[in-house]
Amino acid sequence: MVELVLGGQTEAFEPLVTPYRKLLLTLAYRLSRNIEEAKEISQETLLRAFRYLGSFDRRRSFKNWLLQIEMNVWRSLGERAADEGTLRELAAWNTHEDPEERLAGKEAREKLLTCLDGLSPREREVFLLRDIEGRSVKETAEVLRTSPISVRVHLSRARVKIRRLVKDRFPGLMEAQR
């Protein structure tokens, strides 16, 4: 499909990236904590992916390549407004959910976000890719262009912080497990 796009059939780009559209937008939102910014990051990611498709190494995973672009975009665009705190308006955004689902989704998002707020940007990147998106340590290192050792160090710190945050903010969750 990459060859088709590069050969001039730009229509082939949509089926190429559609499987990842939710992933890209959700990850951008978790990173930026702002839906408008998440859209901007996701859009820029797709534009860059299209522009630089010729440089994509076919031996690599296309998904990881997209994630790598998104991380670069997030670092260049996302950080400037990361702490503006305009994220809580999300519930009204997704019009495909019914009101009950929307409310449940909002609660889940806010719970997650309050925990992610306590992580540093690098810890958040590593934690989201490894623990939420399920990438391996090696893949996470590849996406973030760093070493697996660095990933392990940040992951370890992030998990310790997450444990403390969950324990402080959601004590019921810990109690329920006992």
Residue 94 binding other proteins, by CB under 8 A: yes
Kindly indicate which of the ranges 67-75, 76-84, 89-97 contains the residues binding other proteins, using the contact rule CB under 8 A: 89-97
If one asks whether residue 14 binds other proteins (CB under 8 A), the answer comes out as yes
Measured CA to CA, the distance from residue 174 to residue 121 in angstroms comes to 26
Instruction: Annotate each residue in 112-151 with x if it binds other proteins (CB under 8 A) or - if it does not, as one string.
Output: x--x--------------xxx----x--------------
Residues in contact with 46: Cβ distance below 8 Å, sequence separation at least 6, in sequence order: 17, 24
- We find the least distance from the C-beta atom of residue 83 to other proteins, in angstroms, to be 20
Q: Which of 11, 83, 98, 100 binds other proteins (CB under 8 A)?
A: 11
Cα 55 from chain centroid (whole Å): 23
Site membership for other proteins, residue 60 (CB under 8 A): no
Q: In the Cβ-directed half-sphere of 95, how many Cα atoms lie within 13 Å?
A: 0
For other proteins, the binding residue among 63, 102, 111, 122 (CB under 8 A) is 111
* Gap between the Cα atoms of 31 and 33, Å rounded: 6
What is d(CA 107, CA 101) in angstroms, rounded to the nearest whole number?
Answer: 10
